[in-house]
Amino acid sequence: MILVETISDFRAHRKKLGGTWGLVPTMGALHQGHLSLVERARRENDHVAVSIFVNPTQFAAGGDLAKYPRTLERDMQLLEPYGVDVVFAPSSDEIYPPHFQTYVTVEEVTQPLEGAMRPGHFRGVATVVTKLFNIVQPDRAYFGQKDGQQVAVIKQMTRDLNILVEIIVGETVREADGLAMSSRNTYLSYEERKAAPVLYRALCAARDAFQRGERDAEKLRAAMRDVLKQEPRAHVEYVSAADPNTLQELEVVENSVLLSMAVRIGSTRLIDNFLL
């Protein structure tokens, strides 16, 4: 496993190693959620690249960019046993040199939910993922269901721009109490960490209702809100039962539904979802 910090070094290395490539894009502070994607990429490709880049363009001004955990040495140690070929960890200047001025904007699917709460977020995500695809030229790229709207955005973008890459989605990896693993969980205080599994419990309540035959989307949203209300530390940003591809809110679930939510616990913003 080698660490590469420049685009030209990555390309030189990529040229030397033929065969198929899998890419796992991350912002580092790796946990089992990331590693499950790496493991799958390892199984399905001849070579694996993991990118570690805290992408400034997807953070809002005054967001948590400055305090986002950066743990490259530990990340390298965690990746070591997974048979990764290249860790690509460029600087911000390498990805966004002076006079950079081209962005990728995906339209409708970025409007609701995370897009509404975090203006500009998906423009940053779509731009950096396009750049990573152009740099790495992977056959397959691996994303987590944890970021459900991101999956819809990346799939839409690769279709629209005819990018020749297969998008593979890995299941959300959770702690024993159901909390979805996230680099941001480290921001939680002891008391907040105890409150955080309320997101999972709310999703389970809506899933249970769905499994009992409930297809009224508003009732599914209400089931989630009812559980979240019971946790005084939880401040709900949104609760959604939407079409998994368009992210438009449903009235009636006919096929599949993406149940999702963003909830603040203290000053930490958590998101989670179930795809049913």
Q: Give the binding site for ligand AMP (CB under 6 A).
A: 26-27, 33-34, 36-37, 143-144, 146-147, 170, 172-173, 180-183
Q: Are 192 and 233 in contact (CB under 8 A)?
A: yes
**Helix, strand, or coil (residue 185):** helix
Let me know if 34 is a catalytic residue. yes
Q: How far is the CB of 232 from ligand AMP (least distance, A)?
A: 25
Q: How far is the CB of 155 from ligand AMP (least distance, A)?
A: 12
CA distance 222 to 240: 10
- Ramachandran sector of residue 28 (left: φ over 0; alpha: ψ -120 to 50; beta: rest): left
Q: How far is the CB of 25 from ligand AMP (least distance, A)?
A: 6
Q: Which is nearer to ligand AMP, 243 or 272 (CB)?
A: 272
Chain-centroid distance of CA 16 in Å reads 30
Q: Which is nearer to ligand AMP, 29 or 253 (CB)?
A: 29
Q: How far is the CB of 170 from ligand AMP (least distance, A)?
A: 5
Give 216's DSSP letter: B
Q: Which is nearer to ligand AMP, 114 or 147 (CB)?
A: 147
CA distance 227 to 239: 11
Give 237's DSSP letter: E
Q: Are 89 and 7 in contact (CB under 8 A)?
A: no
- Residues 13, 31, 34, 99: which is the catalytic one? 34
Q: Which is nearer to ligand AMP, 136 or 180 (CB)?
A: 180
Q: Are 242 and 112 in contact (CB under 8 A)?
A: yes
Instruction: Write out the catalytic residue numbers.
Output: 34
